[in-house]
Amino acid sequence: MLSFADLAQQYIDGEWRSGSGSWDIIDFNPYNGDKLAAVTVATVDEVDQAYRAAERAQPAWAETNPYARRQVIERMIKLVEEHEAEIADLIMAELGGTRLKAGFELMLVKEMLREAMNWALSPVGQILPSMTDGKENRVYRLPVGTVCVISPFNFPLFLSIKSVAPALALGNAVVLKPHQNSPVTGGSLIARLFELAGLPKGLLNVVVTDIAEIGDALIDHPVPQLISFTGSDKVGRHVATVAAANFKRCVLELGGNSALIVLDDADVDYAVDAAVFSRYVHQGQVCMAANRVLVDRRLEKEFTEKFVAKVKTLKVGDPTDPGTHIGPLINSNQAEAVTTLIDEAVRGGATALLRGETQGNIVPPTVLTGIPEGSAVLGQEIFGPVALIIPFEGEDEAVRLANDTPYGLSGAVHTADTDRGVRVAKRIRTGMIHINDSTIADEPIVSFGGEKSSGVGRLNGEATVEAFTTTKTISVQHGRSPFPF
C-alpha cells in the first residue's frame, strides 16, 4: 500500500492523478542510484486547482467541531504506528537515511502528531473591557485559511508534518509542495495517510513540481494567507520578498551554522559524544548540526584526540545496514559541493585530521582544524559530514567566534557549571541553545526558530497556534452608544 509506485502522483481535491507537465521528476535512491519513481510535474494550472480546492473545503472544516478534527489526527497517529516499518523503508530508500535516522524521524513525527491533537483544542478567545459603557470586546482566534507548506529533503516527513498537522488541526486547509528529492516521504505519503485517516477531500493537496515549471505561482497565488517554508536562506529570502509584496504572512525555518562550545571545565568524554552526534547525524544534513566545535585551548589536545578517535569508529556505507552511521548525501550535486568545500578549506590552510575519498554520494566523515580566521568555511552552513574544530581562549573569545556567522539557529555549551553555561548561552545570538547536550533538539511544546539569516517566526507550542491562526475582534454594544454629534 505504501510503495513508491502507488505514491508517485499528485494529490489534488481528494484525487490521485498524474501531473500534466511535459517532464518528470525522477526519484532516485541516493545510495545505489536505483530509480524509485517518476512523477510528472504539476503545472501552474494544477497549482491553481489545488488552491481552489483548499479554498472551497476550508470554511466547512473551520466550522467542524475541534474534537472531530482531533480524531483525524488521532487516527493518523495509529496509521503511522501501524505502518512504521514500511515508512522506515521509504525513508531509507528515498533519503539515504540510516535505520537510526529513520527511527529518530518517526519518533519526532509521532510526538508532533500527539501535540497536534492538543492544538485542535487550543485556540481560546477573550472578552475584554471597553472605554465605552455597555460595550464588550470579543476577540476570537480563527484559522488563517489556506496555508502553503514547502518542505526540505533532509527530514521531509517530519518537517512537512510539523506544519501540515497543526495547520489542519487548527481548521486550515493546506497545499503542500515537497522537495524534488523527497516527493514521497515529504508529500504523497502524508496525503495517503491523511486520506486513510478520514480527512475530507480538498483540505490537503500535494503538488510535486519545480520552480522551472511554475515559477512563483505557489507563493504569489492569491489564496494562501500563510507560507511555511523550510529550506535554504537564499530561497527563503525570495519567498519572503514575494510574500511581502502580496501581504502574506511567513514562517521561515532556514539554515544554520551552529557552534558547540566546550568550556575549560567540561566533561571531555561527554562533550565528545555530544559533538560527534551533533555533527554527523544524518551525514550532517541537519540545519541544527554543529558545524563548528569550539574548544578551550586547555582541553584542545585531549578533546581533539578523543573526537577523531570516535569519528573513526563511525561505520560508513549502506543505510539499510543497522550498524551504519554515515550513509549517502542526498544527491551527486551535494556530494560534489561538500567535497569541493573540503578541498578549498585544505588549500586555504586547514589541516585534515581525518578524511576519506568520496565515492558516489558517500562523503566519509572529515575533521578539519587549523582553519585560518576569516576562512569562508567558518561562516557558512555545511550540509555534510564535516566538522571544524576551533580553539579559543576564554569565554569572550568563545562568544565572539560563535556569533561570527550570519546564522543563528541552534548551539550548545558544555560546562560543569550550569549557571556559567546559561550566562554564555545568553550572549550568543541564536533562537535556541542547549546546555550540556546536543545542538539538535526539537520538542513539540518548545519554541523552535532562528535569529539573523536562520529565519523568521517560530513554531511549536503556543508559537504554532499563533502562526496558523489569526485574531478577529468583534465589539458588542449593549444599549445605545453616545455619539458626539
The CATH number assigned to the domain holding 21 equals: 3.40.605.10
Residue 327 within a domain: yes
DSSP 221: -
Are residues 320 and 348 both part of a single domain?
A: yes
Asked if 93 and 102 touch (Cβ cutoff 8 Å), the reply is no
Residue 133 within a domain: yes
Q: Could you list the active site residues?
A: 253, 287
DSSP string, 392-431: ESSHHHHHHHHH-SSEES-EEEE-S-HHHHHHHHHTS--S
The pLDDT, as a whole number, for residue 119 is 93
The pLDDT, as a whole number, for residue 1 is 72
Residue 479 within a domain: no
| Distance from C-alpha of 317 to C-alpha of 321, rounded to nearest angstrom | 8
Asked if 105 and 162 touch (Cβ cutoff 8 Å), the reply is no
Residue 222 within a domain: yes
| Distance from C-alpha of 320 to C-alpha of 325, rounded to nearest angstrom | 10
DSSP 171: T
66-82 and 84-95 helices cross at what angle (nearest 10)?
A: 70
Model confidence over 304-329: pLDDT tens digits?
999 999 999 999 999 999 999 999 99
Are residues 356 and 429 both part of a single domain?
A: yes
**Cα-only R_g, the chain:** 24
Helix (H/G/I), strand (E/B), else coil: 23: coil
Are residues 358 and 424 both part of a single domain?
A: yes
Q: Which residue stretches of 202-331 are H helix?
A: 211-214, 217-220, 233-245, 268-280, 297-312
The pLDDT, as a whole number, for residue 160 is 98
Look up the CATH number of the domain holding residue 272. 3.40.309.10
Backbone angles phi, psi at 27, to 5 degrees: -100, 115
Residue 216 corresponds to which cell in the numbers above? 512563483
* Total number of domains in the chain: 2
Residue 438 corresponds to which cell in the numbers above? 546536543
The pLDDT, as a whole number, for residue 124 is 84
Are residues 272 and 159 both part of a single domain?
A: no
Residue 411 within a domain: yes
| Distance from C-alpha of 173 to C-alpha of 167, rounded to nearest angstrom | 7
Are residues 378 and 430 both part of a single domain?
A: yes
Are residues 355 and 424 both part of a single domain?
A: yes
| Distance from C-alpha of 419 to C-alpha of 435, rounded to nearest angstrom | 9
- pTM of this prediction? 0.96
Are residues 114 and 249 both part of a single domain?
A: yes
Asked if 280 and 479 touch (Cβ cutoff 8 Å), the reply is no
The pLDDT, as a whole number, for residue 123 is 86
Residue 330 within a domain: yes
Are residues 388 and 459 both part of a single domain?
A: no
Report, as ranges of residue numbers, the positions in the chain whose pLDDT lies below 50: none
Helix (H/G/I), strand (E/B), else coil: 468: helix
Are residues 45 and 143 both part of a single domain?
A: yes
Q: Which domain holds residue 234?
A: 4-254+454-473
Are residues 187 and 174 both part of a single domain?
A: yes
Are residues 295 and 203 both part of a single domain?
A: no
Angle at Cα 192 formed by Cα 1 and Cα 172, nearest 5°?
A: 170
Measured distance between the N- and C-terminal CA atoms of the chain, rounded to whole angstroms: 70
Residue 388 within a domain: yes
Residue 484 within a domain: no
Backbone angles phi, psi at 25, to 5 degrees: -90, 125
| Distance from C-alpha of 376 to C-alpha of 389, rounded to nearest angstrom | 15
| Distance from C-alpha of 115 to C-alpha of 444, rounded to nearest angstrom | 6
Are residues 345 and 207 both part of a single domain?
A: no
